[in-house]
A and B are shown apart, each in its own frame.
Chain A
């Protein structure tokens, strides 16, 4: 056959390489999507089974205060009141975010606006170090330092929502700080110049221009911090007391969705009511992290306008 005709009618080596690359990356994407979907499907099917197979009442699940899935109540439904855990999870998350946000914004402002290059690098590595510490270490420090501290200064046993939020405060501080730093750095330099050239002081410029332009980024940072706090299991479990009862105050033993999950999952048999009820808790966690993600997207979209 004519060699030229042969050459242009068959794909070249480069085209074949291109195709191979495309196939590789698409199959990676497909694999990840499959994994995510199957996790969702698995958790959802197990979690919903509590209500369909074991005849748990969904309303009881959200508002009931008694958590004892193995025992049936007067109506013959399992006792799956998850409200104490839901309150516990939201309690530690919101408190931790409230404690951490001012410190994170302060640290981030210091790093971007005030510190020298050396001070900035030092703080940067401190923040990165805080991210890298395993959560069991945080939990252990919480157990041996924060729990006695809370017991001696605030009363109670020391185990409870307050201790949990103190531990989470330290754990989410670096997350919020480093994301706030990113959003402050992305404020264009000319906003700052324009403000200073109009006779604004450094503080006025930070407060009225830089923080205002970075608001959506800072909100995103806080929500990411909250998502991390909501999902943290080990460290919280070590200091919160793990009593599946409605917390009376910040100092009484409480529990979170994650702490009950990690405590219970090894002690139940697959397919039983007790096991399925834990999967329902996992489903709530999954839906919450989905919600946090959607919130971040919404804020990001609003910030771009």
Chain B
């Protein structure tokens, strides 16, 4: 039985530099998967291969295959627009559009052609509630999203992704620019939606990985060193490098 996301022998080059050196990694459907490793180890680059965001960077070449739900997403027939509707992404820096909160959350639906006002209203409320930010901003939906605090902005960005109901949510260090309280809110929120979505989160925060993830993968210098259940990785790592990293001897 194939896993939900399956990557085989993925190499990625920025020009001459090899950033990913043959990654074989798969994720089951639903649940939270953490990607950990020191800066520049390729975990964010790997994450961005899953919704083909690396296509936007000139000079990037990739080999290997990535299948999501049985479909090769790098096949020439693949429509990246459709792919990215199914695979949402939350970035490190909160990046709301300079529009109202309402327009931000409905953006994905509107570009998909949804015009029904009632449906849009319903999705806005649902997504903002799921993203644990509804109570704070429900009276200000038509204010600019830029007027919110960083933590609120990031949760609005998560709501913006949830509103289009993707299958997979990719999060690239979503809490590293936020204060601990906001980070905690986002972690709790991820735990409440873990049964509905396949979540892959890149994080520098080892405690965060151990608190919320079901499975953890450790990257180092463009290679996947170890992957497994989070409990096993943190309690009984098989590789010396993993042990060194999680016990803080480098990183």
Contacts and interface: CB of A to CB of B under 8 A. Distances in A.
A194 B97 contact: yes
A298 interface: no
What are the 3 A-B residue pairs with the smallest beta carbon separation, nearest first? A199-B85, A197-B89, A198-B108
B51 A197 contact: yes
Contacts of B164: 198-199
Interface of A: 188, 190-191, 193-201, 204, 208-209, 212-213
A191 B97 contact: yes
Contacts of B93: 190
A199 B98 CA distance: 18
A300 to B, nearest CB: 15
B13 interface: no
A212 B99 contact: yes
Interface residues of B, number: 27
B81 interface: yes
B191 interface: no
A199 B111 CA distance: 8
Interface string B85-96: 110110101011
B56 interface: yes
Given A190-B93, A208-B111, A196 B160 contact: no
A262 to B, nearest CB: 45
B112 to A, nearest CB: 7
B56 A199 contact: no
A208 B107 contact: yes
B53 A213 contact: no
Interface of B: 51, 53, 56, 81-86, 88-89, 91, 93, 95-99, 107-108, 110-112, 157, 160-161, 164
Contacts, number: 63
Contacts of B89: 197
A197 B157 contact: no
A196 B95 contact: no
Contact of A198 (B56, B88, B98): B88
Contact of B53 (A197, A200, A204): A197
A6 to B, nearest CB: 55
A213 B111 contact: no
Nearest to B160: A198
B91 A194 contact: yes
B88 A197 contact: yes
Nearest to A190: B95
B99 A196 contact: no
A304 to B, nearest CB: 11
B157 to A, nearest CB: 7
Given A196-B84, A197-B51, A213 B97 contact: yes
29 contacts: A190-B93, A190-B95, A194-B95, A194-B97, A194-B157, A195-B97, A195-B111, A196-B53, A197-B53, A197-B91, A198-B84, A198-B88, A198-B107, A198-B108, A198-B111, A198-B160, A198-B161, A199-B81, A199-B82, A199-B108, A199-B164, A200-B81, A200-B107, A201-B81, A201-B111, A204-B111, A208-B110, A209-B97, A212-B97
Contacts of B96: 194
Of residues A198, A208, A213, which shows the largest number of chain B Cβ atoms within 10 Å of its Cβ?
Answer: A198
B107 A190 contact: no
Contact of B95 (A193, A201, A204): A193
Contacts of A209: 97
B21 to A, nearest CB: 25
A198 to B, nearest CB: 4
A198 B88 CA distance: 6
Contacts of A195: 97, 107, 111
A196 B56 contact: yes
Residue of A188, A191, A193, A199 with most chain B CB atoms under a 10 A cut-off: A199
Contact of A193 (B56, B82, B99, B110): B56
Contacts of B85: 198-199
A193 B91 contact: yes
A75 to B, nearest CB: 57
A101 B83 CA distance: 35
